[in-house]
Amino acid sequence: MIRRMTMTLLLITLIFTSHSLAAQPEALTPAGRAFIGPIWSPSGEYIAVSESGYQGVWLINMINGKLTQLNNANAAGFGMAWSHDGRYLATTENKARSIPRRTAVMIYDTQTGENTNLSGFEERLIGTLTWSPDDQNLFLIGHFPLRNAVFSRTEKTSPAGYNFFSILHDQIVEYNTASQVMLTLQTGQRYLNLRPSPDGQTFVCEIIGGGLIIGNSRGLIAQTDAGERPRWSADGQYIVYQIAKDDGHRITQSEIWRMTADGSELLQITDTPDLIELNPSLAPDNRRVVYEERNSRRIYTLELE
């Protein structure tokens, strides 16, 4: 059953605030290595990063600064996701030299070092991962059919099922795993990089060529004119993202921004025309941001005021 919902846009006044950096950025990875896509764990203990081409996953220990390789799997760094308690890291990994491409959903336990393949290596297993609020299930956003986009870490499950947001062609939809009912929430655009909030009740999503939208099952909450690669803070209070410029072939400039979960306050974090800051992620205390810098290919963290 598909039900098209009427969207009500909450008209808001966007408050723009200039931001002066309280400290200089601190490099977390060595020069001469190309690391990308940092994601801060909700526990604050680790930052997960990948290498060029999303090859493999490394963990930066934020207590002692140690850089440890978790795996060297193909495309493992694309669409990876931390569990809410920061213990498990989920990835999608491509089987080496497999034609057609075969992908598996993997879970790594950072405490025991154990890893679990939840799906086997399957064809056309496409999407980015998000956890259910209780960390018992993983959803593959962008995968179709939706009934095959759910992967259980344990045998525990909710009798009422789980609701999760996904992208289906030119639609943003909400799907219930028990009833298998799908509701169409947004349509008529091309969407990517959809990120559910930590509690699973709200989403932020990028419109190709058109900024970001924030919404839920009841309607559209807010929209920005620009923005890419959004990511929620661990407490769901903020969304951090980049605003980039390109020349049609490559990114020429990018700055990091943060906004409140309802889109009512926008804050520019970086203002460095000679640097290209990408893929930001907030620390659990919301006082630091981690990002990749395209020119140096290094991962940096920056303390916020």
Write the CATH number for 162. Answer: 2.120.10.30
As a whole number of Å, the end-to-end CA separation of the chain is: 48
Per-residue confidence (pLDDT) for residue 144, from 0 to 100: 93
Per-residue confidence (pLDDT) for residue 148, from 0 to 100: 94
**Strand pairing report for 211-216 and 265-268:** unpaired
pLDDT over 70 at 243, yes or no = yes
Which of the pair, 18 or 13, is modelled with greater confidence? Answer: 18
Per-residue confidence (pLDDT) for residue 248, from 0 to 100: 85
Domain that holds residue 40: 2-303
pLDDT over 50 at 16, yes or no = no
Quote the CA–CA distance of 277 and 252 in Å, as a whole number. 10
pLDDT over 50 at 18, yes or no = no
Q: State the pLDDT confidence band at 26, using cuts at 50, 70 and 90.
A: very high
pLDDT tens digit sequence for 180-202: 999 999 999 999 999 999 999 99
Quote the CA–CA distance of 273 and 286 in Å, as a whole number. 24
Cβ atoms of 64 and 73 closer than 8 Å: no
Helix-, strand-, coil-residue percentages of the chain, each rounded to 5: 0, 50, 45
Q: Which residue has tokens 């909700």? A: 42
Whether residue 100 has a cis bond before it, omega within 30° of 0 = yes
How is residue 54 annotated by DSSP? G
Nearest to 234 by CA among 155, 168, 161, 287: 287
What are the contacts of 98-102 at 24+ separation with CB within 8 A? Answer: 100/124
In the predicted model, what is the mean pLDDT of residues 242-252? Answer: 93
In the predicted model, what is the mean pLDDT of residues 239-248? Answer: 94
pLDDT over 50 at 13, yes or no = no
Quote the CA–CA distance of 156 and 161 in Å, as a whole number. 11
Per-residue confidence (pLDDT) for residue 288, from 0 to 100: 97
Which of the pair, 15 or 137, is modelled with greater confidence? Answer: 137
pLDDT tens digit sequence for 260-281: 999 999 999 999 999 999 999 9
How is residue 7 annotated by DSSP? P
Q: Which residue type is seen at 225?
A: D
Residue 90, strand partner residues: 81, 107
In the predicted model, what is the mean pLDDT of residues 104-110? Answer: 96
Count: domains in the chain: 1
pLDDT tens digit sequence for 51-98: 999 999 999 999 999 999 999 999 999 999 999 999 999 999 998 777
Reported pTM: 0.91
Tokens representing 301? 């963290």
Q: State the pLDDT confidence band at 158, using cuts at 50, 70 and 90.
A: confident
Burial class (CB in 10 A: 0-12, 13-18, 19+), 199: exposed
Quote the CA–CA distance of 219 and 236 in Å, as a whole number. 18
Per-residue confidence (pLDDT) for residue 156, from 0 to 100: 73
Across the chain, mean pLDDT equals 91
pLDDT over 90 at 3, yes or no = no
Per-residue confidence (pLDDT) for residue 20, from 0 to 100: 43
Q: State the pLDDT confidence band at 116, using cuts at 50, 70 and 90.
A: very high
pLDDT > 70: what percent of the chain?
Answer: 92
Burial class (CB in 10 A: 0-12, 13-18, 19+), 108: buried
Burial class (CB in 10 A: 0-12, 13-18, 19+), 185: buried
53 backbone dihedrals φ, ψ, rounded to 5°: 75, 15
